[in-house]
Structure 1
Amino acid sequence: MKTENSHDLLRSALAGEGFLLFDGAMGTQLQERGLAAGELPELLCLSNPQEVTEIHASYVAAGADIVTTNTFGANAAKLGDAATVEEVFSAAVSCARAARPRYVAADIGPTGQLLAPMGPLSFDDAYELFAHQVRAAEAAGADLFVIETMADLAEAKAALLAVKENSQLPAFVTMTFQEDGRTFLGTTPEVAALTLSSLGAAAVGINCSLGPAEVAPLVERMLPWASCPVMVQANAGLPRVENGVTVFDIGPGQYARAVADMLDAGVTIVGGCCGTTPEHIAAERALLIDRRPAPRRVRDCFAVAGPQRLVALEAGQVGVIGERINPTGKRKMKDALRSGNHDHPLAEAIAQERAGAQILDVNAGLPEIDERAVMCRLVSELLSVTTLPLQIDASDPAVIEAAVRSYPGKALINSVNGKAESLAAVLPIAARYGCAVVGLTLDEDGIPATAEGRLAIARRIVAAAEEAGIPRHDVVIDCLAMAASTDQSAPRAILDAIRAVKAELPGVRTVLGVSNISFGLPFRPLVNATFLAAALGAGLDLAIINPGVQRMMDVVSSWRVLSGEDGQARFYVEHYADRSDAAPAPAVSKGAPGEKNAPAPAAAPADPVERARQLVLDGRAAPMADAMAEVLLHHDALFAINEVLVPALDEVGRRFEAGTFFLPQLMASAEAAKAGFETIRSAGVEGAATADKGTVVVCTVKGDIHDIGKNIVRMLLENYGFDVVDLGRDVDPETVVKTVEERHVRLVGLSALMTSTVPAMAETIALLRERAPWCKVVVGGAVLTPEYAQMVGADFYAKDATETARIAGEVLG
């Protein structure tokens, strides 16, 4: 039974005024007690509750405030027919409660499947799996939720929404990162912290991943962007196997010293993950005695994010929103939205990012289409070719909500206005999903002619937003550019309105669709550029423009020098030093400080060979058939493969290795290459058979039920032109060997996520050596290292899917 003091402890911690101490590892503790490889640890809550309770009790005795239920994988998809979700959570909460902790946290881990478009699981299906767990945990009497070890921001969002919409309990959310500081889908600590705290997580942080020393710099990057407490549960170092036993390198003292530095930086919730023991938790408890939370500054500027990039505007900085993905007045865009072939908007996204846009406006508003379905599909496809955050632009609140619900980041909504019905419909959506929002200065009486009238509406929008729980730095006011051709007093009123908003509503940002000013006038680019310069001088923060118009981007670049944003004019000098008045400067996309910028895709070349290569780099599969057919008019199949597709894929791999391409972009490029291979095959030209690059068998080894990494490898190999035989997960060595023998396969890929299943990998390789000595073996997985690969007798170690594809090309020629 919780006491009033325990309630105070949780409240003070969630307010950032106190500390909370979680428990340590459950999985490795169970392994030490004899958990068999492949056995679902969650079922021990039913079959051996005493042992589970003993582990919980050991952490409570060590000083943990919170114990985490043994339900990491207790979703309906993983449990199958073994037990119901309700049975497992009921038993798990009872086991935890029997240890008499202050709080019981219901543990929710990943589904174990990739979400669409890369995998088979839709966002809604993932949500339902999590909602099922949430309802079961609350019915069982849990005190809070911990959503942990998430690598996919969309999946973390689905789980958090499931808690928010099916429970009143707080939800803590932790992501897991790789050594490069990103999740395997490319999400940074900054993006995760901003997105999840804006969405309403009670705490955000990092778990698993790495040892505490490696996690510390990632936490420091997360702290300024989390508007809630930050938590850390690191591993006790990197695991290794000694005599068949998993050993972790970091002892309690070393672990606590690293945690102390994170506490000094502002972390207030700690605990442990893989390899941590009650001794580690006791060492952390000693750290918290007489310690007070360290002060930290949370950045309260305008910020939005896509799954891989955060864009923030501090005071005095200006941003560019690309306006081109909008059917208004654009025949090709209308045709693309009507037909469902979205290559044109994807090409526009790539071109705008290349030209310097930092956010992309996305509008699918045509009356004759299913706008909601088209918008959701378009957003999903755009995320495979651009890392820029998106502005969801629609007049129908249902369309806005559908798009932002599954958006893996913090979106900007365009728009709300001063009408009561608009405020009531749109602001709750922005608040519920943690979005920033554009407010249009119009109401039931239309657009005011004066700056004072526009300011009055802006005040009303900001007040309503703050009442809805939206901070004013997430509100962007559009003072609405009107055509100077019909009213030459309009430009001055607009500029005065921008000045008034900036002066009277501190913290609020301003935005403007600049090109509206020139409707009806000749030589519109000159008018637009002049007005943009005037608007920037008046205090405009975000310009909605066509970044492909160099004159407009020249104004932005020069303004950044004059305002001091471009420190020492570095960007300007670099890109304009050699420019004559007749030569346009190359524009590049500016990312958030400290982030690498993806190399901008080039415009489509006229040469068919270069065009096909560029389509692979851009991840555009739809035009590939025509491009490759044109290549084959002048070259044979071997040239098309070896001089077009393979070099392009090699460049994609280099960008992935460099951290400028991420898994969604990698998969889109692979799909484009696959379309090229298929065109070569279907053309029936001489040498087309070489497009079939050979067979690879892949599986997760016996005892290991995880297959996300293996699935990524399979999809990438298939898209690179290999024939892949996927044997699934928990595969017996005999099954692997029989498949290799029957097909005379020359390469096998084995995956293992758990250290306890590494011996099964060694057993499989030994059997292959005995009965299929011609076959090479590549191994990979979260726990694998080059040393492990050598220990189990593998020929190759692959740290990711691109390395596996490179090895397959080397082995199969």
Structure 2
Amino acid sequence: MSRNVDFNKFLVFDGAMGTMLQACGMKAGELSERYNIEKPEVIEKIHRAYIDAGADVITTNTFGANRYKLNDTGLNLNDVITRAVEVATKAAKDKLVALDVGPLGQLMEPYGSLSFEEAYEAFKEQVLAGALAGADIIIIETMSDIYEAKAAILAARENSNLPIICTMTFQEDGRTLTGTDPLTMVNILQNLGIAALGINCSLGPKEMMPLVHEVLKYSRIPVIVQPNAGLPKMAGSETIFEITPEMFAAYGRQMAEAGVRILGGCCGTTPEHIRELKNALIGLKPVKTHIERITAASSSTCTVTLGGEVKIIGERINPTGKKKLKEALMKDDMDYILREAVDQKDNGAHILDVNVGIPEMDEETVMVRAIKEIQGIVNLPLQIDSVKPKVIEAGVRVCNGRPIINSVNGEDKVMETIFPIVKKYGCLVVALTLDDGGIPKTAEERLKIAEKIIKRAGEYGIPKEDIIVDCLVLTASAQQKEVKETIRAVRLVKEKLGVMTTLGVSNVSFGLPARSLLNRTFLAAALSAGLDAPIMNPMDADMRDTVRAFNVLWNHDKDSKEYINAYADSKAKPENNDNKTNKDLKKIIIDGLKEEVKETVREFLKEFKALEIVDNYLIPALDIVGEKYEKGEIFLPQLILSAETVKNAFEVIKEDIMKNSSHDRAINKGNIVIATVKGDIHDIGKNIAKILLENYGFQVYDLGKDVPTEKIVGKVKEVKAPLVGLSALMTTTVQSMEETIKALKLHCPDCVVMAGGAVLNENYANMIGADFYVKDARDSVKVAEMVINGVKKN
């Protein structure tokens, strides 16, 4: 029977499990979860040490207890989790037990093979086992992919009644591995019905402080922070963490004084760290923070806040009145839809409306596929647009971010159907000012419907900042008198209710000539009345110009920076581009249009030799993507997608080379062997490196994870590889990496070694004998290029 948890007081979690297991004699490469079955007394001893140190919550030894990480270990998932909870409960006595749920260790779609549904099912197994065994809390921790975090949260919510805590792990650049920033994390996670959110792992408490303040700025729910005891370093063959218990506790007190409610430790922390932390909180009371309440939609890497600067919602992925889009949907031509998404982003859209509703199709299936495809190539938040509740729910469920639902209205039946979906998935929602009587003629009547919707939403626990009111645009050709009432209604809604507003602007001009003239004039009037987010065609230059000009005149575009950037060179002559196809191919790669690239390369092959395309177009395009990644203009998902696009291009090129023997060299730049070292079962970073290296033209031999030293040495000899890449995520397996490097230096002296992984830094890599340290997959490409060009060491 699980116990109640009071999140209104300080809660202190325990510290590291791996660090303690090492101290208890766990060898490099041993699977910690096996101890639950074979050495439960060791786990219980560690739990008791944390309880004695003052921890209010202890975490089960189940971080890697999922179907993917336990595969081929001979361990039964249910047995591992059940036993872990039993051991923790026995040690905890009257303290709380948190079921530890870590990442699955797989890359998720679209840049991996793991689907959202598969991730959900894997997490569901863990949740059911842990809840049945008697856990009090579920802590979903060390997440680097917010899509995976969402799958885990939904699995926990739908298969247990336990309070849920979710933490993500951030890099020194202030983003997760897949590009999520603190505001985006908070905006998505706090609206999914969890009890607390926060940050853990990767960084020490000092490095975490700026991120903590950013999270506290927006989080309406309690915040948890579990730092490492600093960054790991080597002392001989031993891994040490430099943050002492006293230093750790001092930072913990600072965090508590800033508003953090839940504190604990991650890698390198011990019972002494927790004891000092607990003592540091004596005399303090939880601080009530002042939260910025915002109306914001998010993708996985981008949050768009409404209010102030006008935000454009792109309308073009909607088959109403669009013959070509209807045809594309009927033909299952997803490339056409993706091109519309990319073009709208390129032309200034901030959010994309997605509507695939035509009578001849299974709208739910198409909506799910469209959302997955679009969010794979465009990092803009989405507005899920349908009149069918089932379609809306299916869409928002698989949406990687916090979407807008379009829409609800003042009909009781509609509100009763849509508001539960809004609440469950934490979405924003467009509120149409119509009800059973249709669209009212006057602004005052529309205001009343908006008031009714907002009041009813509040009964479902949906705050008014999550509602965007649409006062509805009527056509000037048929209802000319009512056009002015829409403008009046927008003004009244802003003045009386203080909520955000939207309008489908182009509706005003249906049936009349020179539609763009009417649209932009109406848009200007609506903006001055308080329109925040017009739903419009961002490809319409006149409409776009109106928005930019308004942002300057209303002081939203500070110092006219965006306006100047857009128009400073407007009188310059257009660039002379003699080879448009060259530009198009590079952009296709940068945009990640995986299917479109194949046909484009086939067209190129009519004009250029295969290897000319590789040298002059594909690799330069990847270099551009790499530079954008390093500058923080794009993130890991876009980097991988562009690499996959090049992979498709290579397939076409290789087919051509097979047919044409006149080429004097192969694409292969050189052989590279990569592996995760013995004892380590984590290989996400290695898999990402493989994708990039292959698409830069290297032949990569991936030996997988938990690879013995002799196998790595043997493969390097077999393929005469000039470069080998080694990966390790766990501090316990760095020793294996060091042993592998020594063996490579002895048996393959001409082979260069690059090493990477979460526990490494450059000094650490140098100390264990690596020739190069690579902080990410992009770095591995740079090292490979240097090695092929004859550079042996830093």
Q: Tell me the TM-score normalized by structure 2.
A: 0.95
How big is the shift at 1:652? 0.9
- Once the two structures are TM-superposed, the CA of residue 333 in structure 1 deviates from its matched residue by 2.1
Which one of the candidate residues 604, 609, 617 is aligned to 2:590? Answer: 617
Q: Which amino acid aligns with 2:183?
A: E
2:533 is equivalent to residue 560 of structure 1: no
Distance 1:603 1:429 in 2: 51
Letter in 1 for 2:195: A
| Number of the residue aligned with 1:512 | 503
- Using the alignment, how far apart are the partners of 1:741 and 1:338 within structure 2? 53
2:68 matched residue in structure 1: 77
Identify the residue that residue 704 of structure 2 maps to in structure 1. 728
Provide the C-alpha distance between the structure 2 equivalents of 1:371 and 1:37, rounded to a whole number of angstroms. 52
- Counterpart of 1:530 in structure 2 is 521
Deviations 1:245-304 (A, max 9, x none): 221010012112222222222111111111111111122112211112223222212111
The aligned amino acid for 1:652 is V
CA shift for structure 1 position 307: 0.1
**Is the 2:234–2:767 Cα contact (8 Å) retained in structure 1?**
no
1:743 to 705, 719, 724: 719
In structure 2, runs of 5+ residues without a counterpart are: 790-794
Residue of 441, 445, 449 corresponding to 2:437: 445
Equivalent-residue separation in structure 2 for 1:338 and 1:39 (angstroms): 53
Query: For residues 128 and 665 of structure 1, do their structure 2 counterparts lie closer, same or farther at Cα, with a shift above 3 Å needed?
Result: same
Please, which of 337, 340, 349 is the counterpart of residue 345 of structure 1?
337
Contact 2:28–2:735, Cα closer than 8 Å, also in 1: no
Find out whether 1:301 has 2:294 as its counterpart.
Answer: yes
- 1:170, distance to aligned residue in structure 2 (A): 0.5
Match of 2:230 among 230, 237, 253: 237
Counterpart in the other structure of 1:96: 88
**In structure 1, distance between residues paired with 2:489 and 2:338:** 35
Once the two structures are superposed, the pairs formed by residues 257-276 of structure 1 within 5 Å of their partners are 257-276=250-269
Aligned match for 2:540, one of 516, 539, 549: 549
Structure 1, 459-468 or 542-551: larger mean CA deviation: 459-468
Q: Distance in 2 between matches of 1:196 and 1:646?
A: 38
Q: Which residue among 601, 605, 608 is the counterpart of 1:632?
A: 605
**Secondary structure at the counterpart of residue 68 of structure 2:** helix
Given that residues 674 and 721 in structure 1 are in contact (C-alpha distance below 8 angstroms), is that contact kept between their aligned partners in structure 2? no
Decide which of 638, 643, 666 is 1:670's aligned counterpart: 643
Query: Offset at 1:377?
Result: 2.0
8 Å contact kept, 2:371–2:398? no
Residues 127 and 158, structure 1, Cα contact 8 Å, conserved in 2: yes
Deviation at 1:199, TM superposition (A): 0.6
SS of residue in 1 equivalent to 2:400: coil
Question: How far is the alpha carbon of 1:654 from its aligned partner?
Answer: 0.8
Instruction: Say if 1:604 and 1:511 are closer, same or farther in 2 by CA, change over 3 A.
Output: farther
The offset of 1:186, in angstroms, is 0.4
- Whether the aligned pair in 2 keeps the contact of 1:419 and 1:444 (CA below 8 Å) is yes
1:236 maps to amino acid: A
> Could you tell me which amino acid in structure 1 is paired with residue 189 of structure 2?
L
**1:759 aligns to 2:735 (yes or no):** yes
| Structure 2 counterpart of 1:488 | 480
Residue 666 of structure 2 corresponds to 690
- The question of whether the paired residues in 2 share the 8 Å contact of 1:677 and 1:691 is answered with no
Of the three residues 785, 805, 808, the one matched with 2:761 is 785
Letter in 2 for 1:571: E
Q: Separation in 1 of the partners of 2:32 and 2:204?
A: 23
Against the structure 1 CA distance between its residues 603 and 565, is the aligned structure 2 distance closer, same or farther, given a 3 Å change threshold? Answer: farther
**What is aligned with 1:594?**
none
CA distance in 2, matches of 1:583, 1:267: 56
CA distance in 2, matches of 1:577, 1:678: 42
Give the whole-Å Cα distance in 2 for the aligned partners of 1:762 and 1:58.
Answer: 31
**Aligned ranges for residues 8-47 of structure 1 at < 5 Å?**
10-11=5-6, 13=7, 17-47=8-38
**How far apart are residue 207 of structure 1 and its match?**
0.4
* Letter paired with 1:759: Q
Q: Are 1:405 and 2:397 matched, yes or no?
A: yes
Amino acid at match of 1:111: L
Aligned to 1:283: 276
Distance, in Å, in 1 between the alignment partners of 2:500 and 2:576 is 33
Contact map agreement 1:680 1:691 (CA 8 A) in 2: no
Deviation at 1:604, TM superposition (A): 11
* Structure 1 position 689, deviation (Å): 4.7
Distance 1:574 1:726 in 2: 46
Q: Residue 605 of structure 1: CA displacement?
A: 9.1
Give the match for residue 589 of structure 1. none
SS in 1 for 2:353: strand
CA-to-aligned-CA distance 1:438-494 (integer Å, 9 cap, x gap): 112222332222223322322232222221221111011111111101121121111
Cα drift, residue 137 of structure 1: 1.3
Could you say if the C-alpha distance between residues 583 and 610 of structure 1 is closer, same or farther in structure 2, counting changes exceeding 3 Å?
A: closer
- Is contact 1:608–1:628 with CA below 8 Å preserved after alignment? no
1:324 matched to 2:329? The reply is: no
Deviation string for 1:386-416 (max 9, x for gaps)? 2111111122211211121122211111112
Partner of 2:792 in structure 1?
none
Indicate how the Cα distance of structure 1 residues 610 and 583 shifts in structure 2: closer, same or farther if over 3 A, else same: closer
SS at match of 1:232: strand
Show CA shifts across 1:624-679 (max 9, x none): 23322333333333322222111111111111111111111111211222222222
Inter-partner Cα distance in structure 1 for 2:488 and 2:278: 58
2-structure distance, mates of 1:792, 1:687: 43
**Aligned partners of 1:706 and 1:729 also within 8 Å:** yes
Q: Give yes or no for contact 1:671–1:719 (8 Å, CA) kept in 2.
A: yes
Distance change (3 Å), C-alpha of 1:804 and 1:101: farther
Deviations 1:140-192 (A, max 9, x none): 11111111001110111111111111111100100001111111100111111
Which of 749, 758, 767 aligns to 1:773? It is 749
- Structure-2 change in CA distance of 1:626 and 1:137 (3 Å): closer
The CA deviation at 1:603 is 14
Determine the structure 2 residue equivalent to 1:703.
679
Q: Contact 1:240 / 1:246 at 8 angstroms: preserved in 2? A: yes
Between 418-427 and 566-575, the greater mean CA deviation after superposition: 566-575
* Count of matched residue positions in the alignment of Structure 1 and Structure 2: 784
CA separation of 1:49/1:93 partners in 2, compared to 1, >3 Å: closer, same or farther?
same
- Partner amino acid for 2:655? S
Structure 2: distance between partners of 1:450 and 1:532: 19
Q: Which amino acid aligns with 2:601?
A: M
Q: Find the residue that maps to 1:37 and give its secondary structure.
A: coil
Segment of structure 1 superposing worse, 152-161 or 109-118: 109-118
Q: Do the aligned residues in 2 keep the contact of 1:351 with 1:603 (CA within 8 Å)?
A: no
Segments of structure 1 that go 5 or more residues without pairing to the other structure are 585-601
For the residues of structure 2 that align with 1:78 and 1:681, how far apart are their CA atoms?
Answer: 35
Q: 2:193 aligns with which of 194, 200, 210?
A: 200
User: 1:718·1:724 contact (CA, 8 Å) conserved in 2?
Assistant: yes
Contact kept? 1:485, 1:518, Cα under 8 Å: yes
CA contact (8 A) 1:700 1:731 kept: yes
Q: Could you tell me whether the CA contact under 8 Å between 1:681 and 1:688 is conserved in 2?
A: no
Aligned-residue offset at 1:794: 2.4
Q: Distance in 1 between matches of 2:178 and 2:49?
A: 36
Q: Name the aligned partner's letter for residue 531 of structure 1.
A: F
Rounded Cα–Cα distance in structure 1 between residues aligned with 2:269 and 2:598: 53
Other-structure match for 1:811: 787
Q: Distance in 2 between matches of 1:208 and 1:603?
A: 51
Cα distance between partner residues in 1 of 2:655 and 2:413: 55
Alignment partner, residue 598 of structure 1? none
Opposite residue 333 of structure 2, the aligned amino acid is N
Aligned match of 2:414: 422
Verify: 1:649 aligned to 2:642, yes or no.
no
